[in-house]
Amino acid sequence: MKVTLLQMNVRDDKRANLEKAAAMIRRTVEKERPRLIALPECFDIQGGPPGTARAAAEPFPQSAAYRLMQELARELGVYIHAGSVAELHEGQVYNTTVVFDDAGREIARYRKIHLFDVATPDGMIYRESDSYGRGTEIVTYQVDGITFGCTICYDLRFPELFAALARKGADVIVLPAAFTLMTGKDHWEVLLRARAIETQTYVLAPGQIGEYIENGERRRKYGHSMVAGPWGTVVARAEDMECGVTAHLEIDHLHTVRREMPVREHHVLGTPVSTG
């Protein structure tokens, strides 16, 4: 299966961000013809003064970002894993992934479970829970008989979520992200490769790159969107710019790795991972 990850520099202009996402998707389909396109976390808006995310949030399916991705999936005949957007649901805002099939039908919706409330080494304070509610559901979907699992950014640090997705049969796990420069330079690649090795899945990680302003502070995102394979190798990596990165997922290779190193059958602590 051919997939493309889009790496974007998202700022606090929602209309401009959506126009950019649409243009990148159209170019990708024209040039690469992938089966699935994955966008980064918060591809609709990031940064701005306090309350920007809540003010930008819209209910599904009325959301402008939702309708745009749905229309593009239908028009272009491609699966779109729509990173994440601010979803308004029953008065609460969620950081939400929505996935559309090649006919524009919604086939998955995942609300981010682990919220980024941390202080990074450069002194920046992040309080995602000030803007978003916490999701509770573990979500998978199917593309051509291949099972995909949903995660978002900070979820990467919680291997139990990835193990739960593996138990649900995930062959590919998608992680839209907006990793900070300070955390990304030390943790991004090693964590992505570790999660791929542990679960024996492909991990697709489309990220944001570049600077944005939040609450008057200049912040920088790490980028380095990548695909990690089930053996833990880096299959594809984006350059330090807004771009797409394309990879082929070799499902036969995935099954070979699982057969030759059957860790899913060797669990003796906790709940064994399903052999699917």
Other C-beta atoms lying within 10 Å of the C-beta of residue 146: 18
Total number of domains in the chain: 1
In a domain, 246, yes or no: yes
pLDDT reported for residue 99: 98
Q: Report pTM.
A: 0.95
Task: Compute the distance between CA of residue 267 and CA of residue 2 in angstroms, rounded to an integer.
Answer: 32
In a domain, 81, yes or no: yes
Q: Which of 153, 151, 188 is nearest to 173 (CA)?
A: 151
pLDDT reported for residue 265: 86
Q: For 183-204, write each residue's pLDDT tens digit.
A: 999 999 999 999 999 999 999 9
pLDDT reported for residue 235: 98
Taking CA atoms, 146 is separated from 53, 60, 226, in Å, by 33, 26, 19
In a domain, 247, yes or no: yes
Q: For 82-101, write each residue's pLDDT tens digit.
A: 999 999 999 999 999 999 99
Q: Are 132 and 54 in contact (CB under 8 A)?
A: no
In a domain, 45, yes or no: yes
In a domain, 181, yes or no: yes
In a domain, 274, yes or no: no
Considering the chain, what percentage of its residues have pLDDT values greater than 90?
A: 84
Q: Which residue in this structure is represented by tokens 């803007």?
A: 131
Task: Determine whether 87 is an active site residue.
Answer: no
In a domain, 272, yes or no: no
- One-letter amino acid at 260 equals E
pLDDT reported for residue 271: 64
Other C-beta atoms lying within 10 Å of the C-beta of residue 255: 14
Task: Determine whether 150 is an active site residue.
Answer: no
Confidence of residue 274 (pLDDT cuts 50, 70, 90): low
Any idea what the CATH number is for the domain that residue 183 is in?
Answer: 3.60.110.10
Note down the domain range covering 19: 2-265
Catalytic residue among 14, 153, 214, 221: 153
Task: Determine whether 153 is an active site residue.
Answer: yes
Catalytic residue among 20, 58, 87, 112: 112
pLDDT at 68 over 90: yes
